[in-house]
Each structure stands twice: as C-alpha cells, then as structure tokens.
Amino acid sequence: MELNRLFLLTIFLLHIKLSRMIPTRLVCDRRLIQKYISDSMELENQVNQCDELPLLQQPVLLPLVGFSLREWMAKTNQVKGQEVLRDLLTLVDGIAATQQELKQPCPSVLLQQLYGKASFFVLHLQSYGSQEPEATRQPEGTPELTSETNLRMIFQTYRQLLQGKLHFFFNDLRKEFSCGVDRHARSSE
C-alpha cells in the first residue's frame, strides 16, 4: 500500500506546483467542499446503478467516521487533521485492496475515481500537516475500523467523511487561513 501512495504522490507532484499544495483555496472557498460532497453523492448513486454488485470475497477495513461534535470541538486543529488524515489513509488502502479484487468494469471505474478523489484529500492534508510546527510524518493513533464486504459501504464512508469530519475541519481551518481580504491579494499574485 505504501508503494501506491508513493506512486500517487509522484504523479501529483508532476502535475502541480509545490507552492499550490497549501490547501488555502480548498479551505477558503466553501463552494469547493460542497462540490466534493456533491461529487461523492453522485459517485454513490452511480455505483448503486451498476448491475449486480458482488459482495467482496475479502472484507475490507474501513474507518468508522462518525463522531461526537462536542468531542470534536474540544480537539486542536492538528489533532483533527491527524484524525481525518488517518481515516482517509485507511479508506485509500481499503479502496486499493478492493480494486485488486474487483473485475467488473462499472464498479472498477468508479472505484478508480474514488481512489483519486480520496488521495487528493490525503495529499492536501499531508501538505497542511507539513506546515504545522509539531507535525509528524504519519498520523498518530489508530482509527476505529469496521470490516465490510459491501462495496457500497466504501462509497458511503467517503461521503460521510466529507460531510462530517472533513467539512468541520475545513470550517475550523478557515479561521487560521485569513480567508477574507487576504484571499484576493493571493489570487492576484
């Protein structure tokens, strides 16, 4: 799985400038996270339209992405970022494992799209973490996991993660990133 992440990072770096890895626009423009949430719902709808989705022969481990808002608000942004990153990394690993097993074209194409979208957020969160003074290379702790054989649950977990933890995390980051007047100055650079 580490090889998949290294390969994805290499491709990503070849296509964008390092200076654009800071997720300021992603955080400051609320419409972007809403677009990604809508995209996740669309992917979930598309996978439901695939004919005869098989149950996975090998159960995949998925993060449990539900959370208590009260506990969430008590955490620092660094801890929140680590938690979301940990969940995304687990999800990306689960998607990769499922791709190796699945042979049907309809869900395979959608899984590939999901892998790219989830990996996009992994890279952005790793970029944010590298800017934190006490950031670690790997997220600390282990996520709570569930074993799943239903392919639809992979797509549902991604959507729930975007609608929940990632959405709230970006809301919290807006305060750190000076998204108001400063954003217009950056766009003219």
Confidence band for 19, pLDDT divided at 50, 70 and 90: very low
Res. 146: pLDDT tops 60: yes
Q: What is the mean pLDDT of residues 78-89?
A: 93
In angstroms, rounded to a whole number, what is the distance separating the alpha carbons of residues 27 and 23?
6
What is the pLDDT, as a whole number, of residue 9? Answer: 58
User: By the 8 A CB rule, do 91 and 111 touch?
Assistant: no
Question: Taking the domains of the chain in order of start, what are their residue ranges?
Answer: 25-187
CATH architecture assignment, domain 25-187? Up-down Bundle (1.20)
- Over residues 41-72, the pLDDT tens digits come to 999 999 999 887 888 899 999 999 988 989 99
User: By the 8 A CB rule, do 156 and 62 touch?
Assistant: no
Between 138 and 7, the higher pLDDT residue: 7
- Mean residue pLDDT across the chain: 80
Q: Beta-strand (E) ranges in 11-113?
A: 55-63
Q: Which of 68, 24, 44 is nearest to 152 (CA)?
A: 44
> What is the percentage of the chain residues whose pLDDT exceeds 90?
43
What is the pLDDT, as a whole number, of residue 103? Answer: 82
In angstroms, rounded to a whole number, what is the distance separating the alpha carbons of residues 189 and 92?
34
Between 11 and 49, the higher pLDDT residue: 49
Between 182 and 33, the higher pLDDT residue: 33
What is the pLDDT, as a whole number, of residue 174? Answer: 82
Res. 142: pLDDT tops 80: no
Confidence band for 7, pLDDT divided at 50, 70 and 90: low
Q: What is the mean pLDDT of residues 128-156?
A: 70
In angstroms, rounded to a whole number, what is the distance separating the alpha carbons of residues 88 and 124?
11
